[in-house]
DNA sequence: ATCGAGATTGAGAATCAATTTCAAAATGAA
DNA sequence: TTCATTTTGAAATTGATTCTCAATCTCGAT
């Protein structure tokens, strides 16, 4: 019989880590924090505070936006989430539990986000920084354009409704 | 006798190009637009609207912020300036006259910005996009950290005021 | 030079994401 | 239980940017 090693859900792990991070600096555990963290880690992808707030208030309508903002800040400081500032104004958060660094491909039509890693690019970046005497702490590489699906959609419409001119 | 080919200032060129772009779509030339464009192209670097507004109102205090915002948008649409959204909230504009694409090194301490080009990185980006079936329209590569000068300053202070512990 | 449709302006209001304020409620060590 | 401290939700505030609108300006046609 095949056995899968018992594996804690990432939400559970995150809650534990957050707990120690919180008590380590005299903060306090609260019901709303737990609910927000739980909700956040049960999602995947890159959530805006708005989107997260929606899911959270679905579970407990009394929770306010400010608390979600505050909690995501804590999660970020604790290294359990990372904040991304893509084009379009609002901050998006993604889980950062034992995750490698990675960059993003962002579809400007449907908003979908793909992730990728590329060691060669990272190396070249380091070299560039070195050449300029820069000590890099973090970086941002984002490729914007049309995802495959949106390209196909585009093509389809162009065929059916050719540019009248 | 050596003769240097007469060369128009980039500000002059920009004004010309803007003029044709503007008349081509039924817009109108105005005194404040000219002044803003002139001021913008007489500067170098990456200006925020605030910084530009300061320089502009120094020349004509009656010009409002909204007009500067509007003008920079036109300049961007005309391809004569490009908008950058570095960390820290406000949009910064840089002249885009006959400029190659380039990326940025941004010092998080003093705010200075270095530019660089790297063909190899661009190629690798294209390859990544291709692998994911993405049609990239633009991208953003920003390296954040400490510039040489700020590293040296840091070092200096650490020597004189070693971490007491 | 004058006219007039339409574009532009400046000031202030509005918006949007995010942060701060503050009084009331919750937490947790003693 | 007590009580200093932290947290919360709602509302106010901030900061960047955009919008609104009445007054003004521009420019091609007279």
Contact A125, B121 (CB under 8 A): yes
* Domains of chain B, first to last: 10-99 (1.10.10.10), 100-165 (3.30.1490.190)
Cβ–Cβ of B124/A124 closer than 8 Å? yes
Q: CA dist A109 to B107, B130, B132, Å? A: 32, 17, 16
Question: pLDDT of B28-51, one tens digit each?
Answer: 999 999 999 999 999 999 999 999
Instruction: Please enumerate residues of A whose Cβ is less than 8 A from a Cβ of B.
Output: 85, 87, 105, 107-108, 114, 116, 118, 120-121, 124-125, 128-129, 132-148, 151
The reply to whether the CB atom of residue B62 sits less than 7 A from any atom in nucleic acid chain C is yes
Residue B165: pLDDT band with limits 50, 70, 90: very low
Cβ contacts (< 8 Å) between B147 and chain A: which residues? 132-134
- Of A2-11, A35-44, A137-146, B67-76, where does mean pLDDT reach its minimum? A2-11
Among all residues of chain A, which has the CA nearest to that of B147?
A: A134
- A165 has pLDDT over 50: no
Q: What is the separation, in whole angstroms, between the first and last Cα of chain B?
A: 70
pLDDT of residue A160: 80
* A3 membership: H or E segment, kind and range: none
Nearest-nucleotide field for A61 (CA, C1')? D9
The reply to whether the CB atom of residue B71 sits less than 7 A from any atom in nucleic acid chain C is yes
Going by C-alpha positions, the residue among A10, A2, A4, A16 that lies closest to residue A39 is: A10
The reply to whether the CB atom of residue B30 sits less than 7 A from any atom in nucleic acid chain D is yes
- B127 has pLDDT over 70: yes
Cβ contacts (< 8 Å) between B135 and chain A: which residues? 145-146, 151
Nucleotides of chain C in contact with protein CB (under 7 A) are 6-12, 16-21, 26-29
Q: Positive or negative, the Cα torsion across A108, A112, A113, A114?
A: negative
The reply to whether the CB atom of residue B31 sits less than 7 A from any atom in nucleic acid chain D is yes
Among all residues of chain B, which has the CA nearest to that of A122?
A: B121
pLDDT of residue B56: 98
Q: How far is the CA of B89 from the C1' of D16 (A)?
A: 7
Read off the pLDDT of each residue in A28-45 and give the average, rounded to a whole number: 96
Read off the pLDDT of each residue in B121-139 and give the average, rounded to a whole number: 96
- A45 has pLDDT over 70: yes
The reply to whether the CB atom of residue A70 sits less than 7 A from any atom in nucleic acid chain C is yes
Of the candidates B120, B125, B145, which has its C-beta nearest A134's C-beta?
B145
Cβ–Cβ of B134/A120 closer than 8 Å? no
CB atoms within 10 A of CB A77: 11
Mean pLDDT score across all residues of chain B: 91
Question: pLDDT of B83-125, one tens digit each?
Answer: 999 998 899 999 998 888 999 999 999 999 999 999 999 999 9
- A164 has pLDDT over 60: no
Contact A94, A46 (CB under 8 A): yes
């Amino acid at each position: 019989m095949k056995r899968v090693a018992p594996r804690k859900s990432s939400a559970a792990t995150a809650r534990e880590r957050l707990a120690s991070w919180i008590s380590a600096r005299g903060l306090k555990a609260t019901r709303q924090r737990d609910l927000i963290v739980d909700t956040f880690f049960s999602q995947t992808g890159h959530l805006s505070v708005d989107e997260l707030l929606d899911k959270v208030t679905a579970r407990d309508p009394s929770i306010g936006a400010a608390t979600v903002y505050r909690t995501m800040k804590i999660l970020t400081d604790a290294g359990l989430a990372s904040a991304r500032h893509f084009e379009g104004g609002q901050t998006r958060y993604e889980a950062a539990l034992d995750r490698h660094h990675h960059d993003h491909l962002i579809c400007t039509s449907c908003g979908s986000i793909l992730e990728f890693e590329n060691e060669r690019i990272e190396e070249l970046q380091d070299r560039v920084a070195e050449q300029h005497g820069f000590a890099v702490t973090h970086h941002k590489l984002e490729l914007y354009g049309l995802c495959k699906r949106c390209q196909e959609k585009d093509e389809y419409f162009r065929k059916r409704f050719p540019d009248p001119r």
